[in-house]
Amino acid sequence: MIRKKVIVPERIRSTGNSFCFIPHRFLTGGFLQSLTRHELALYLFLVLVSDKNGLSFYGDKRIYATLGMRQEDYLFARSCLIHKDLIVYDGTLFQVLSLPQTPHKE
């Protein structure tokens, strides 16, 4: 077994006052591999800006501008993440959901 040792102790990261995380199962369960680059960028953005309940009030235009996406690509990625049961959107508010049992298969 490999023993872990902190390489740069003065740069150990902490959560500070913000709250965001991605469960390890996102990688090991195949969710990462199931997303396109636009879907992944949008999902990561929403995880980063959401509160402890996964909620975010960022508007569409601000999101796709921040991500450097065309509006059409953003809308398609948003639709795909909803279809894949990773987020919900009520027209004003986003919620990043807990991961479903398995990634959505196309």
* Total-model pTM: 0.88
- pLDDT value at residue 61: 96
Residue 92, Cβ neighbours under 10 Å: how many?
A: 7
H/E run at residue 51: none
**What are the residue boundaries of the structural domains of the chain, listed by start?**
25-96
Q: Are 69 and 27 in contact (CB under 8 A)?
A: no
CA–CA gap between residue 68 and residue 64 (Å, rounded):
6
Nearest to 95 by CA among 41, 56, 39: 56
How does pLDDT run across 44-97, given as a tens digit for each residue?
A: 999 999 988 899 999 999 999 999 999 999 999 999 999 999 999 999 999 999
| 17 pLDDT higher than 90 | no
Contact by Cβ (8 Å): 69, 38: yes
Q: Which fold would CATH assign to domain 25-96?
A: Arc Repressor Mutant, subunit A (1.10.10)
Is the confidence at residue 7, as pLDDT, over 80?
yes
pLDDT at 14 over 80: no
Q: The tokens 């999101």 sit on which residue?
A: 63
